[in-house]
Amino acid sequence: MAFLATIASEVMAYMRKVILHPATLVYSLVVLLAGTASAAQPLPWQLGLQPPAGSIAEMADDLHDLLLIVITLISLFVLGLLVYVGIRFRAAANPVPSKTSHHTVIEILWTVIPVVILVGIAVPSFRLLYYLDKTAETDMVIKVTGNQWYWNYEYPDEGIAFDSYMVDEGDLQEGQIRLLSVDYPMVVPENTRIKLLITGNDVMHSFFVPSLAVQVYAFIGRTNEVWIDVPTGAQTYYGQCNQICGVNHAYMPIEVKALPAAEYQEWLKSAREEFAMSTPSPAVKPEAGSEAPIVLASAN
Ligand SMILES: [Cu+2]
């Protein structure tokens, strides 16, 4: 009994310290009031996933919620069985144990029921998997290259490419987020489907933006294809490299900035001047004999 009291007091102490902490309450209130539109970044003491943005993320979120229900019911059922067996068949109450070792009906049940559960889970899971695969129906392409330790974004149809570095703590401006804000974010138009070609230049990286439900490895000499579904609304989505890639792994965040169509065109105009590609990056160097156009240097 003493250890139960210890556990209870530990839980109470944790609740007092963390869940009832003023910062937690204020954040919970802010998140509740602000709704799902404003939090495409991790928050202190956050529970659960970041609010989903776009159809892929919504489907992934729904699948997560479904699995959470299934796993909770299974865990409670197994816990209930354990408690029941522990009490009902304890040595004191059951001095002569049964020698039963087989029970055909139960064995069939505990084979068939898990199979039914798994098949039930497989249906939404495969639906999401095949939905993720539909990279053909996209509006535009961005090539993302992981480097030690920054990202490079290339818009092949616009002839622009630029590096994206984390803003150092000392240089943070008003509204920028420590370890998440970058100097040049990946800018995208709202309400578009974007094909991402993800590759690496040195070691393995991983392009991970939780709110858009995208997490893809960036390998050297290999291009992974995925698409994101940017929802309507000007919004910034934050992510990080989540494949340990060296000493500055924690300092190569991802910032995806969604703009309304007109503002995106404005950005494109200035980006074409500032970020015109001088040479194609190594991963898109045209192969001998191919007709891929090479964009020449601009004069700035
Ligand atoms: Cu990395």
Q: How far is the CA of 181 from the centre of ligand 1 (A)?
A: 16
Q: How far is the CA of 272 from the centre of ligand 1 (A)?
A: 27
Determine the Cα–Cα distance for residues 198 and 153; give it in Å rounded to an integer. Answer: 10
Q: How far is the CA of 212 from the centre of ligand 1 (A)?
A: 18
Q: What is the pLDDT of residue 36?
A: 41
Residue whose pair of structure tokens reads 């129906």 in the numeric block: 137
Q: Among the listed ranges 67-71, 82-86, 239-243, 273-277, which one has the minimum average pLDDT value?
A: 273-277
Q: How far is CA 59 from CA 46, 48, 51, 54, 110, in A?
A: 21, 15, 12, 9, 30
* Model confidence pLDDT, tens digit, residues 117-167: 999 999 999 999 999 988 778 999 999 999 999 999 999 999 999 999 999
Q: How far is the CA of 87 from the centre of ligand 1 (A)?
A: 52
Across the range 45-72, mean pLDDT stands at 93
Considering only CA atoms, which of 190, 192, 226 is closest in space to residue 206?
226
Determine the Cα–Cα distance for residues 45 and 188; give it in Å rounded to an integer. Answer: 30
CATH 2.60.40.420-classified regions of the chain? 140-274
Reduced to 3 states (helix: H, G, I; strand: E, B; else coil), residue 143 is strand
Q: How far is the CA of 187 from the centre of ligand 1 (A)?
A: 20
Across the range 71-81, mean pLDDT stands at 97
Q: Which segments of the chain does DSSP mark as H helices, in order?
A: 2-14, 22-34, 55-88, 104-132, 261-274
The pLDDT of residue 265 is above 50:
yes
The pLDDT of residue 5 is above 80:
no
Q: How far is the CA of 179 from the centre of ligand 1 (A)?
A: 14
Determine the Cα–Cα distance for residues 208 and 41; give it in Å rounded to an integer. Answer: 12
CB neighbours of 282 closer than 8 A, spacing ≥ 6?
A: 201
Q: How far is the CA of 71 from the centre of ligand 1 (A)?
A: 32
More confident call, 43 vs 61: 61
* 196: amino acid identity, one letter: L
Q: How far is the CA of 244 from the centre of ligand 1 (A)?
A: 6
The pLDDT of residue 32 is above 60:
no
Q: How far is the CA of 246 from the centre of ligand 1 (A)?
A: 7
The pLDDT of residue 74 is above 50:
yes
* Model confidence pLDDT, tens digit, residues 233-262: 999 999 999 999 999 999 999 999 999 999
CB neighbours of 30 closer than 8 A, spacing ≥ 6?
A: none
Percent of the chain with pLDDT over 90: 68
Q: How far is the CA of 249 from the centre of ligand 1 (A)?
A: 5
More confident call, 161 vs 13: 161
Q: Provide the pLDDT confidence category of residue 78 given band limits of 50, 70 and 90.
A: very high
* Model confidence pLDDT, tens digit, residues 173-223: 988 999 999 999 999 999 999 999 999 999 999 999 999 999 999 999 999
Q: How far is the CA of 63 from the centre of ligand 1 (A)?
A: 28
What does the radius of gyration of the chain's CA atoms come to, in whole angstroms? 26
The pLDDT of residue 31 is above 70:
no
Q: How far is CA 246 from CA 204, 281, 283, 287, in A?
A: 9, 22, 21, 31
Q: What is the pLDDT of residue 35?
A: 43
Determine the Cα–Cα distance for residues 79 and 82; give it in Å rounded to an integer. Answer: 5
Q: Tokens for 180?
A: 């998440």
* 131: amino acid identity, one letter: Y
Q: How far is the CA of 229 from the centre of ligand 1 (A)?
A: 23
Considering only CA atoms, which of 173, 182, 300 is closest in space to residue 237?
182
Domain 140-274 falls in which CATH fold? Immunoglobulin-like (2.60.40)
Q: What is the pLDDT of residue 232?
A: 93
235's enclosing H/E stretch is strand 235-241
Reduced to 3 states (helix: H, G, I; strand: E, B; else coil), residue 288 is coil
Report the mean per-residue pLDDT for the chain. Answer: 86
**C-alpha torsion 56→131→192→65, nearest 10:** -10
Q: What is the pLDDT of residue 34?
A: 46
Q: Provide the pLDDT confidence category of residue 98 given band limits of 50, 70 and 90.
A: confident
Q: How far is the CA of 41 from the centre of ligand 1 (A)?
A: 18
